Amino acid sequence: MISHDTLRQMSREERAALSRSLAALNAELPSLRAGDRRRRRFVIVLTVASVGFIPWIAALAITLPRHYLAGHWQVTWVGFDIILLCCLALTAWLAWRRRQVVIIAAFITATLLTCDAWFDITTASGRADTIIAIASALLLELPLAVLLFSVALHLLHLTVRRAQAAYGVLDAPTALHKLPLLGVPRESAVESRAR
């Protein structure tokens, strides 16, 4: 950060050039107001879907048979594992290439690993299958999922801190659940700070 003394030592032209450079950086950042209406619609759709999902879960809990002979069992599991393999490989490639989208890929892959562990355990039949499914979940799938979740959260946190620094907001909360969307306050708050 540039100190006040350093700014005072700069010529008027140097300060003007610095001001133009900072303004250009801020102009490159997306507007936070542009998506307010879409965000409200998105929240409404998700809320309605969440509320509507409750009776569906209750109906399934009451009506589903305890045992069920599944069709396409091999296609289901092999297909799921192929998708999981592709997600693992994509996440590795994106991490190697240092791409921002690795955050999304890591979250998706970790979620799929967690689902894989859940379904392996809950669909296991017999004691040996159940022990193998639990061991696989505890030794492979869940530790890898935790690693991917933690890396994704760490990278997301770093990204937000960079956005905060670009806006000059250094005193914002650090916990992700307390941060505003995009990691910076609404434009009106940023504009009032600048005045």
- Cβ neighbors of 80 (< 8 A, separation 6 or more) are 112, 116
Judgement on whether residues 47 and 113 belong to the same structural domain of the protein = no
Q: What is the pLDDT of residue 151?
A: 95
pTM: 0.72
Query: Which domain range does residue 2 map to?
Result: 1-30
Q: Does residue 126 sit in the same domain as residue 195?
A: yes
Q: Are residues 49 and 109 in the same domain?
A: no
Give the number of domains in the chain. Answer: 3
Distance, in Å, from the CA atom of 108 to the CA atom of 177, rounded to the nearest integer, reads 19
Query: Are residues 175 and 133 part of one domain?
Result: yes
The reported pLDDT for the residue numbered 134 is 97
pLDDT in tens, the chain (195 residues): 777 788 788 888 887 787 777 767 666 655 556 567 777 887 898 898 899 989 988 988 898 888 888 888 889 999 999 999 999 999 999 999 999 999 999 999 999 999 999 999 999 989 999 999 999 999 999 999 999 999 999 999 888 888 777 777 777 776 777 777 765 665 544 454 454
**In terms of Cα–Cα distance, which of 30, 33, 2, 7 is closest to 187?**
33
Do 59 and 91 reside in the same domain of the chain?
A: no
